Structure 1
Amino acid sequence: MNNQSKIVSRKSKIVILGGGESGVGTAILAKKKGFQVFVSDYGKIKEKYKQVLINNEIAWEDEGHSEEKIFSADVVMKSPGIPDKAPIVKKLREVGIKVISEIEFASKYTEATIVGITGSNGKTTTASLTFELLKNGGLNVALGGNIGKSFAEQVSEEKYENFVLELSSFQLDGIEDFAPHIAVLTNLSPDHLDRYDYKYENYIASKFRITMNQTEADYFIYDADDVEIEKWLSKNTIKAQLLPFSVKKELKQGAFKKDNQIVIKINNTEFNMPIATIGIQGEHNVKNAMAASTVATLLKIRKQTIRESLEGFQGVEHRLEKVLKINNVMYINDSKATNVNATFFALDSMENPTVWIVGGVDKGNDYSELLPLVNEKVKAIICLGIDNQKIINAFGNVVDTIVETDSMQAAIKVAYRLAERNNTVLLSPACASFDLFENYEDRGRQFKEAVRNL
């Protein structure tokens, strides 16, 4: 950044909409870079974030927006949870004030190598695994984005040479120049359609924004078995070098499955690892491992380190997490399954008759693809949501026992009553959590607590 633009930014006003992790992180970075900062939240800011703002002497308000202050901004950072349709966002755009995401803002202030990971499912596991591989390989690396500590706050610390960022479509909607050196697209399935006018193609376009500013010197890693990804790539050109992964076909370049091994071929290097030794099992996890290992290979991590890291990785919290076995019934927390496709993976991996806890805020779900699995594996359904009618309509003819509950404690009590020896109780909601819980983590933790209290 030249001195001229630094001087301009000293006078620049940034307004941050949303006082959560991403908003407060952006506020800290913006203040450090000489902006006048104002944080405005339509809801209530959590006490821990209020304290950070007060300690950093950053102006804020909550439970409403002061439009006069907001419309005096040079630029606005919108937290990912606020939809583009929100009246304040629409007004800002109408008057020509730039609205960006935290990712866009923070990326301007770091020279670090960025690995950006998006996808409908698997992005948290892939991001966490990639972070482990790079950290174990001795790189100075941080994990952020849609997971853990905010990217902006970590940029403000000025101590990382590499970032692994889990990126949601909402974060990508707010980028203009952001360009990761390595982009990963794990897969596509309909999700968050309520934010995309119920048009799947809008959501797909949003995911592909991850590569829009990449150059020939960058890399795009993607699932070559995914029909929608292949379809998009056949109609659009990408500048980045393409590195596909597949469990169905052998590839000249990229990662694939051969003789029960993962094989990674990039330029003239080749890496092999037996699938049976990977710490997280299931076909979707083989793909997550392929994507992460491809990133690690590009960043010159030793093959032995990649193998050892894949063997030792135990997965992430709230993703098919085994909680407890009680009376020979296994309780599994898959609260992170906030869409149908994620729940498909979960049900597909069940080996015993399953009591399935499902429901929450439906984002335009089509449950029909679950019907064969539910028919084969599910003995009872426990609905956990305010409005369960769609679930009851979808599975009423397939499952004899469907019970409605409106709290986690009630759901677990019913599950305990319905499950017999050698059954599984699976929380895999296929929905967002906001009707009864703060977020999917809160839902998962309440599940674990209720199980431990049985």
Structure 2
Amino acid sequence: MKKIVDLPYEKILVLGLAKSGTAAAKLLKQSGKKVRVNDLKAKPTDLAVRQLEEMGVEVVTGGHPISVLDDVDLLVKNPGIPYDNVIVAEAEQRELPIITEIELASRLVDGHLIGITGSNGKTTTTTLIYEMLKNSNQQAKIAGNIGNVATEVAQSLEQNESMVIELSSFQLLGVETFRPDIAVLLNLFESHLDYHQSFENYKRAKSNIFKNQTEHDFIVYNADDEQVVDTVQEAPSIKVPFSITKRCIDGAWCNNTSIYFKEEEIILLSDIVLVGKHNLENILAAVCAAKLNGVTTAAIQDVLKTFTGVKHRLQFVDNRNGRLFYNDSKATNILATSKALAAFEHPIILLAGGLDRGNSFDDLIPHLEKVKAMVVFGETAQKLAKTAHQAGIDTVKFVDNVKHAVQKAYELSSEQDIILLSPACASWDQYATFEERGDMFTEAVHTLE
């Protein structure tokens, strides 16, 4: 078991358990640190709590007493906990350093570290890079916001094995020395402003992905995104652009027929199975990172000819009697659904609805030109129906859930139609997670008669 040997703190509070907090606490304890854990919702009988206590970790549950900060010289914060949390705010007042567990993970990595961030497309790009590395016979593991706890993955890394890590702005806000050899910044849209308070703060958090890089490292960036171009100007690393609109002689680009890396033709666009303009951006970013890490062109081609998408992210599910079904349950906002709609040329039957956060769907109207019918569900069903009618869509059907939506959409469809689950809403009114919602969609498609 690897241990952290270069962390200059001895008495550490881990705030928030979940998977990352539990893993961080165990790693720190095994590394010889004095560790205390505080979690509001955990119970003394929880397995994670009992395991930590058996290791000698002090665990405080059921509240956030300020005393948990006594005799502490570092706070390791769960990324999702906001900075106005009473413990975090008090830690800042005491001028305690605050990090997230990716900082700990990075101190365990001997091989290459490839970090991917952006407002959209992180999971797809991270997965593409990982698959390209593997297909080129490179040893690699995938980690981070994609669901694999970074500290656990880092502990299992072999020497010179690469870690490909998806990074949220929440994670990146808490780094000290974190430094990827290859950083990828995909795009920047206004997002998570309830957490970051302003777009500038959000961009600053994202820029932490390259703040510790050197002139020997690389920052792969979207040359078509003005916010990204502006943000990477301060990067100390080698800038490698990608673009779907112009030739990038120092990076990846495409014309009407092919994708290129610098002067080398990589693959014909017609050979790529992943659909969507936004996914073309993700592909170009992945090509850059893969080539910079020594991946062969043949390995890149093999992946792009077979990769159909990440589960729940514009994932191709099935062709049923000429109708193509796509699961985009991860589309929990209007922007994501807009990008999904732009991916197709054939008529679309859109399945949408979910948690009502109080917003209108007016911004979706310009993107509904190819939608021939909508099937709506959940708390926002009436709002979405109103939006559909404003967009000139005559056929709108109400159903109870995603399972019934699949059946209704199939009844409304014709050959070559796209049946797309892209809800534009969070799932929590009916489902615990967007994954649960997407799984119901997929199961319903496979059981159609």
Residue of structure 1 equivalent to 2:19: 21
Distance 2:408 2:145 in 1: 33
Matched, 1:358 2:358: no
Distance 2:374 2:157 in 1: 52
Give the C-alpha shift of residue 82 in structure 1: 1.5
The answer to whether the Cα contact below 8 Å between 2:6 and 2:107 also exists between their aligned partners in 1 is no
The answer to whether the Cα contact below 8 Å between 1:357 and 1:427 also exists between their aligned partners in 2 is yes
Paired residue type of 1:286? L
Distance 2:309 2:55 in 1: 35
Matched, 1:249 2:249: no
Distance 1:361 1:168 in 2: 24
Give the C-alpha shift of residue 19 in structure 1: 1.8
1:294 to 288, 297, 309: 288
Distance 1:319 1:346 in 2: 9
Paired residue type of 2:192? H
**Residue-by-residue CA offset, 1:400-452 (whole Å, 9 max, x unaligned):** 565666754565566566x3334443221233334443332233223334445
The answer to whether the Cα contact below 8 Å between 1:187 and 1:229 also exists between their aligned partners in 2 is yes
Give the C-alpha shift of residue 221 in structure 1: 0.5
Summarize the Cα distance change of 1:150–1:219 in structure 2 as closer, same or farther, 3 Å threshold. same
The answer to whether the Cα contact below 8 Å between 1:17 and 1:40 also exists between their aligned partners in 2 is yes
Residue of structure 1 equivalent to 2:311: 317
Matched, 1:420 2:420: no
Residue of structure 2 equivalent to 1:87: 86
Summarize the Cα distance change of 1:113–1:365 in structure 2 as closer, same or farther, 3 Å threshold. farther
**Residue-by-residue CA offset, 1:148-197 (whole Å, 9 max, x unaligned):** 32111122235252110000111111112211111101112222222222
1:43 to 41, 51, 59: 41
Residue of structure 1 equivalent to 2:338: 344
Paired residue type of 1:243? V
Summarize the Cα distance change of 1:272–1:449 in structure 2 as closer, same or farther, 3 Å threshold. closer
Comparing 44-53 and 250-259, the one that deviates more: 44-53
Summarize the Cα distance change of 1:405–1:63 in structure 2 as closer, same or farther, 3 Å threshold. farther
1:34 to 32, 39, 48: 32
Distance 2:406 2:7 in 1: 59
Distance 2:215 2:226 in 1: 24
Residue of structure 2 equivalent to 1:138: 137
1:305 to 299, 303, 318: 299
Paired residue type of 2:355? G
SS at match of 2:221: strand
Comparing 242-251 and 14-23, the one that deviates more: 14-23
Residue pairs, 1:156-305, within 5 angstroms: 156-159=155-158, 161-197=161-197, 199-233=198-232, 236-265=233-262, 270-305=264-299
Give the C-alpha shift of residue 7 in structure 1: 10
SS at match of 1:312: coil
SS at match of 2:390: coil
Comparing 293-302 and 202-211, the one that deviates more: 202-211
The answer to whether the Cα contact below 8 Å between 1:133 and 1:309 also exists between their aligned partners in 2 is yes
Residue of structure 2 equivalent to 1:99: 98
Distance 1:295 1:451 in 2: 35
Summarize the Cα distance change of 1:171–1:396 in structure 2 as closer, same or farther, 3 Å threshold. farther
Paired residue type of 2:170? F
Give the C-alpha shift of residue 271 in structure 1: 4.7
The answer to whether the Cα contact below 8 Å between 1:28 and 1:153 also exists between their aligned partners in 2 is no
Give the C-alpha shift of residue 281 in structure 1: 2.8
The percentage of aligned residue pairs carrying the same residue is 36
> For structure 2, which runs of at least 5 residues remain unmatched after alignment?
none
Normalising to structure 2: TM-score of the pair?
A: 0.86
Matched, 1:129 2:128: yes
Paired residue type of 1:276? S
Summarize the Cα distance change of 1:279–1:53 in structure 2 as closer, same or farther, 3 Å threshold. farther
Residue of structure 1 equivalent to 2:329: 335
Summarize the Cα distance change of 1:209–1:28 in structure 2 as closer, same or farther, 3 Å threshold. same
SS at match of 1:210: coil
Give the C-alpha shift of residue 253 in structure 1: 0.9
The answer to whether the Cα contact below 8 Å between 2:372 and 2:395 also exists between their aligned partners in 1 is no
Distance 1:453 1:58 in 2: 49
Give the C-alpha shift of residue 85 in structure 1: 2.3
Summarize the Cα distance change of 1:54–1:443 in structure 2 as closer, same or farther, 3 Å threshold. farther
**Residue-by-residue CA offset, 1:239-297 (whole Å, 9 max, x unaligned):** 111110111111221111135111102xxx73532121123232222222211121121
Paired residue type of 1:168? S
Distance 1:327 1:48 in 2: 48
Normalising to structure 1: TM-score of the pair?
A: 0.85
Summarize the Cα distance change of 1:135–1:77 in structure 2 as closer, same or farther, 3 Å threshold. same
Summarize the Cα distance change of 1:283–1:355 in structure 2 as closer, same or farther, 3 Å threshold. closer
The answer to whether the Cα contact below 8 Å between 2:115 and 2:209 also exists between their aligned partners in 1 is yes
**Residue-by-residue CA offset, 1:13-37 (whole Å, 9 max, x unaligned):** 2222222221122123212211123
Paired residue type of 1:278? I
The answer to whether the Cα contact below 8 Å between 1:189 and 1:341 also exists between their aligned partners in 2 is no
Summarize the Cα distance change of 1:68–1:408 in structure 2 as closer, same or farther, 3 Å threshold. farther
Distance 1:404 1:89 in 2: 44
